[in-house]
Amino acid sequence: MSGPLTPYDPQDDGAEMAFDGRMSYGDYLALDRLLGAQVPISSAHDEMLFIIQHQTSELWMKLAIHELIAARARIAADDLEPAFKMLTRIARIFEQLNSAWQVLRTMTPSEYSEFRDRLGQSSGFQSYQYRAIEFLAGNKNAAMLRPHAHLKDVHGELERILREPSLYDEAVRLLARRGFAVDQAVLKRDVTRPHAQDESVRQAWIEVYRDPVRYWQLYELAEKLVDFEDYFRRWRFNHVTTVERVIGFKRGTGGTSGVTYLKRMLDVVLFPELWSLRADL
């Protein structure tokens, strides 16, 4: 019979085991700050789930903003290959965010009611990172700056994004640079307002889709944009159904109409020509 196994020591394989004065995994990721940021304000068991759900969503949104800004800059510079990778990553980020709703849905209405009153007027409606994503994607609305007026730096950053061309604005400008007859009114429009469907833009994308071999880069860009909006729409839909499942049609903690407000957002289309053209192919 063989004797007891000798416990494995990673140091025997060369693993670093001493970190006094050296950067460790926890140091690099600032885990002391990250894991210390979950501070429930009630004794309810499920409040920890609620906090982590929203904090991790904000982390993923931070990455989405990083990628959206970079992709927009690449499209503006006619450097599309890196933009494709970034747009793919953004879609996968929203796939991840969609999966997270499944965890929150394990919280029942009675469990949420144990701490909901302690949230005061705080609401996901006030997420400035979500607002930045909406603005970057093209759903511009200056009224949405007001909930952030008390945060000077945040308000200034959102106002800057509001006044810049959106991701789709840059895609439409790219069409014009590639020789498509995009109406000048579209190219010179007020970018602080959402893009409205335009026939010249629609005809340009139709031409791209009718000859994808000739316009392969533009064709791929269009499909990457559709992929992003597809997952973004699913995220909005899952948000609605999760809220309806947990609180029904109660008014939101931030004062919105709750599910009714969220359902209104389902009608928002970021890249309208890319969806409407499909009926003509």
Q: 115-154: b or e for each residue (b if 16 or more CB lie within 10 Å)?
A: bbeeeeeeebbebbbbbbbbbbbbbbeeebbebbeeeeeb
Model confidence band, residue 30 (pLDDT cutoffs 50, 70, 90):
very high
pTM of the model: 0.90
Model confidence band, residue 134 (pLDDT cutoffs 50, 70, 90):
very high
Q: How far is CA 254 from the centre of its chain?
A: 20
- Is 66 annotated to bind a ligand? Reply is no
Domain membership of residue 141 (yes or no) is yes
| Mean pLDDT calculated for residue range 219-245 | 90
- Is 41 annotated to bind a ligand? Reply is no
Convert the pLDDT of each residue in 184-220 to its tens digit: 999 999 999 999 999 999 999 999 999 999 999 999 9
| Mean pLDDT calculated for residue range 131-156 | 95
- As for how many domains the chain has, the answer is 1
pLDDT at 1 over 80: no
Residue of 166, 165, 187 lying closest to 175 (CA atoms): 187
User: How far apart are the C-alpha atoms of 48 and 41, rounded to whole Å?
Assistant: 10
Domain membership of residue 36 (yes or no) is no
The single-letter DSSP state of residue 106 is: T
User: How far apart are the C-alpha atoms of 51 and 74, rounded to whole Å?
Assistant: 35
CATH code, 177: 1.20.58.480
- Is 148 annotated to bind a ligand? Reply is no
Angstrom CA distances, 204 to 139, 178, 180, 184, 276, stand at 22, 10, 6, 14, 12
pLDDT at 75 over 70: yes
pLDDT at 242 over 90: no
Cβ(55)–Cβ(35) below 8 Å: no
pLDDT at 104 over 80: yes
pLDDT at 251 over 90: no
Domain membership of residue 19 (yes or no) is no
Model confidence band, residue 159 (pLDDT cutoffs 50, 70, 90):
very high
Domain membership of residue 10 (yes or no) is no
Cβ(152)–Cβ(181) below 8 Å: no
- Is 51 annotated to bind a ligand? Reply is yes
- Is 239 annotated to bind a ligand? Reply is yes
* Dihedral, CA of residue 26, residue 68, residue 264 and residue 56, to nearest 10: 0
- Is 54 annotated to bind a ligand? Reply is yes
Q: What is the pLDDT of residue 259?
A: 64
Torsions phi, psi of 268, nearest 5?
-75, 130
pLDDT at 162 over 80: yes
Q: What is the pLDDT of residue 19?
A: 84
Top pLDDT among 76 and 248 is at: 76
Which tokens go with 45? 């068991």
Domain membership of residue 208 (yes or no) is yes
Other beta carbons within 10 angstroms of residue 199's beta carbon come to 10
Domain membership of residue 121 (yes or no) is yes
Please give the residue range of the domain that contains residue 158.
43-279
pLDDT at 281 over 90: no
- Is 253 annotated to bind a ligand? Reply is yes
User: How far apart are the C-alpha atoms of 149 and 132, rounded to whole Å?
Assistant: 14
Domain membership of residue 258 (yes or no) is yes
| Mean pLDDT calculated for residue range 48-72 | 96
Cβ(140)–Cβ(194) below 8 Å: yes
pLDDT at 250 over 60: no
Domain membership of residue 24 (yes or no) is no
* Dihedral, CA of residue 140, residue 143, residue 145 and residue 146, to nearest 10: -170
